[in-house]
């Protein structure tokens, strides 16, 4: 599972001469058979890792079934930091979401439900730490009760095209009676009702990413860590779609004086908070082709608070009823795999995507939010802990309120050849990662 720095690319097959690499290649998905790599994935978070693993396993299976004796490394994963998964993928709640919040038509719902099912199976198969904790969504007011009723109605009606399943098998939910709530979680206040999601769980996100990395490398993939992509040029003849001749990636390895240039037949932009910058590297330099408009991301920080007291005891995840316009799912209570309680994330617009210190000034409002459902909280045991940043596709509304979240963008970028673009992969991106990997593989190979 060792990763290799791009500075060592000279030792890899791709640097031995492009003609030789092309001759070794046992399959190709595009016209450019002389590229160093078949696919380059930019960004080694959980989504980039899931995509890279899916592409590497597909390529490895194809080369095994062909008569070629060897093949060049088919997939390159480029990560700017020295390790994978140090940005948003390791700064979240580690919750395996059921898929309750995003509406019937959204890609978020589709990949969250599919991703959740794939993720539970993956964790079982590869021994990644996880637990089906379930989750309570609690209401304190009639309005919040209405919000729960809406979620329940959605879950009852949503089958995601699965006519073979009972309606409550796709998004299983149940109402918890007041007596049961008091018996199971006496510390939790829920004046107007509790809805329990049975499919929700938690996962060890680091274990998940290390396992994906291992599978990727076992399938012949190459990780170039410490390798920020600083420029991208689509290749192609006059009149061809940009990218039809492959892609040139300019990489500035950490500590190196010079840029390194590698080529790939297809590219996947999975750069998370850096995804708009990567998008703009392509479109801004592209004077000939049908350029996509530039992208901008906005940043919404989520602060977490650790809890050092063992009282009150809570053994399920607890979320307040969603409050439209506030952003996020509300400061909730989650558990890690050791059973430790943590609170968060809250929702704070920031301008700097590297502003990752938990904001202590947010503690009083977090305490207020937590007390609504956990009145016995020992406020003195709460401490600012860590923060993660959501890559938002829309800015705050004029009133400073949060607009309805746009859907995930996962698409073959129109007007280009061989560019799959992933933008706005906020929550439930961790849950959805394996499904996004599956989807990108289909996009790349269906061309």
Contact call for residues 202 and 335 (beta carbons, < 8 A): yes
Site string for ligand FAD, 348-377 (x = CB under 6 A): ------------------------------
Q: How far apart are the first and last CA of the chain?
A: 31
What is the rounded distance in angstroms from the CA atom of residue 351 to the CA atom of residue 363? Answer: 20
Residue 270 as a binder of ligand FAD (CB under 6 A): the answer is yes
User: 81 or 403, CB closer to ligand FAD?
Assistant: 81
Residue 434 as a binder of ligand FAD (CB under 6 A): the answer is no
Which of these, 183, 194, 108, lies nearest to 152 by C-alpha position?
194
What is the rounded distance in angstroms from the CA atom of residue 378 to the CA atom of residue 344? Answer: 16
Q: Which range of residues in 10-18, 66-74, 237-245, 388-396 is near ligand FAD by CB under 6 A?
A: 388-396
What is the rounded distance in angstroms from the CA atom of residue 58 to the CA atom of residue 112? Answer: 22
- Judged by CB under 6 A, the residue of 43, 221, 226, 236 near ligand FAD is 43
Residue 89 as a binder of ligand FAD (CB under 6 A): the answer is yes
What is the rounded distance in angstroms from the CA atom of residue 225 to the CA atom of residue 228? Answer: 8
- Judged by CB under 6 A, the residue of 55, 56, 95, 335 near ligand FAD is 95
Residue 100 as a binder of ligand FAD (CB under 6 A): the answer is no
DSSP state of 382: E
Site string for ligand FAD, 45-64 (x = CB under 6 A): xxxx----------------
Residue 88 as a binder of ligand FAD (CB under 6 A): the answer is yes
User: Whole-number minimum distance, CB 387 to ligand FAD, in Å?
Assistant: 7
Residue 333 as a binder of ligand FAD (CB under 6 A): the answer is no
User: 42 or 62, CB closer to ligand FAD?
Assistant: 42
User: 181 or 203, CB closer to ligand FAD?
Assistant: 203
User: Whole-number minimum distance, CB 115 to ligand FAD, in Å?
Assistant: 8
- Judged by CB under 6 A, the residue of 25, 108, 135, 390 near ligand FAD is 390
User: Whole-number minimum distance, CB 332 to ligand FAD, in Å?
Assistant: 9
Q: Which range of residues in 14-22, 89-97, 214-222, 361-369 is near ligand FAD by CB under 6 A?
A: 89-97
Residue 431 as a binder of ligand FAD (CB under 6 A): the answer is yes
Residue 429 as a binder of ligand FAD (CB under 6 A): the answer is yes
User: 235 or 358, CB closer to ligand FAD?
Assistant: 358
What is the rounded distance in angstroms from the CA atom of residue 224 to the CA atom of residue 251? Answer: 10
Residues 232-269: b if buried by 16+ CB within 10 A, e if exposed: bbbbbeeeebbbbbbbbbebbbeeeeeebebbbbbbbb
**72 C-beta neighbours (distance < 10 Å), count:** 24
What is the rounded distance in angstroms from the CA atom of residue 53 to the CA atom of residue 255? Answer: 28
424 phi and psi angles, rounded to 5 deg: 70, 35
Q: What is the DSSP string of 44-92?
A: -SHHHHHHHHHHHHHHHHHHHHSS-S-----EEEE-SSSSSS-SGGGSS
Q: Which range of residues in 65-73, 98-106, 371-379, 422-430 is near ligand FAD by CB under 6 A?
A: 422-430
User: Whole-number minimum distance, CB 356 to ligand FAD, in Å?
Assistant: 10
User: Whole-number minimum distance, CB 278 to ligand FAD, in Å?
Assistant: 5
Q: What is the DSSP string of 418-433?
A: SEEEEE---TTHHHHH
Q: What is the DSSP string of 309-341?
A: ---S---SEEEEPP-TTT-TT-SEEEE-TT--E
Residue 79 as a binder of ligand FAD (CB under 6 A): the answer is yes
DSSP lists the bridge partners of residue 413 as none
Site string for ligand FAD, 213-242 (x = CB under 6 A): ---------------xx-------------
User: Whole-number minimum distance, CB 300 to ligand FAD, in Å?
Assistant: 8
Residue 302 as a binder of ligand FAD (CB under 6 A): the answer is yes
352 phi and psi angles, rounded to 5 deg: -115, 115
Task: List interacting residues with ligand FAD (CB under 6 A).
Answer: 42-48, 78-81, 86-89, 92-95, 97, 228-229, 270-274, 278, 302, 345, 388-390, 425-431
């Amino acid at each position: 599972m060792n990763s290799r720095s791009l500075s060592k690319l000279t030792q890899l097959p791709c640097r031995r001469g492009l003609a030789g690499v092309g001759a070794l290649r046992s399959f190709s998905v595009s016209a450019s058979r002389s590229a160093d790599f078949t696919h380059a994935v930019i960004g080694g978070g959980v989504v980039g890792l899931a995509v890279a693993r899916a592409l590497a396993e597909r390529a490895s299976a194809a080369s095994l079934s062909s008569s070629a004796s060897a093949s060049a490394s088919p997939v390159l994963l480029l990560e700017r930091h020295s390790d994978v998964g140090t940005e948003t993928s390791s700064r979240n709640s580690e919750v395996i979401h059921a898929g309750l919040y995003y509406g019937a038509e959204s890609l978020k719902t589709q990949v969250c439900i599919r991703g959740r099912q794939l993720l539970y199976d993956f964790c079982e198969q590869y021994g990644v730490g996880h637990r089906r904790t379930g989750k309570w969504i609690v209401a304190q007011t009639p309005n919040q009760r209405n919000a729960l009723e809406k979620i329940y109605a959605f879950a009852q009606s949503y089958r995601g095209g699965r006519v073979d399943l009972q309606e409550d098998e796709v998004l299983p939910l149940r109402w918890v009676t007041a007596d049961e709530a008091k018996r199971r979680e006496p510390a939790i206040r829920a004046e107007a009702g509790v809805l329990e999601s049975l499919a929700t769980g938690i996962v060890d996100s680091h274990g998940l990413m290390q396992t994906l990395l291992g599978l990727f490398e076992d399938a012949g993939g190459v990780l170039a860590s410490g390798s920020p992509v600083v420029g991208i040029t689509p290749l192609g003849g006059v009149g061809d779609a940009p990218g039809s001749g492959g892609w040139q990636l300019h990489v500035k390895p950490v500590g190196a004086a010079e840029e390194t240039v590698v080529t790939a037949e297809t590219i996947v932009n999975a750069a998370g908070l850096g995804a708009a910058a990567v998008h703009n590297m392509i479109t801004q330099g592209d004077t000939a082709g049908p350029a996509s408009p530039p992208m901008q991301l906005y940043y919404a920080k989520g602060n977490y608070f650790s809890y050092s007291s063992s009282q009150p005891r809570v053994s399920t995840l607890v979320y307040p009823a969603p409050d439209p316009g506030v952003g996020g799912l509300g400061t909730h209570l989650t558990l890690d795999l050791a059973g430790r309680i943590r609170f968060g994330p809250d929702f704070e617009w920031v301008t700097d995507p590297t502003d990752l210190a938990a904001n202590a000034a947010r503690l009083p409002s977090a305490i207020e939010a937590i007390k609504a459902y956990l009145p016995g909280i020992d406020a003195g045991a709460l401490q600012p802990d860590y923060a993660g940043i959501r890559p938002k596709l829309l800015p705050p509304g004029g009133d400073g309120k949060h607009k309805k979240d746009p859907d995930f963008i996962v698409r073959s970028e129109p007007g280009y050849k061989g560019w799959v673009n992933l933008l706005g992969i906020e929550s439930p991106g961790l849950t959805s990662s394996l499904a996004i990997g599956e989807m990108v593989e289909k996009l790349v190979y269906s061309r």
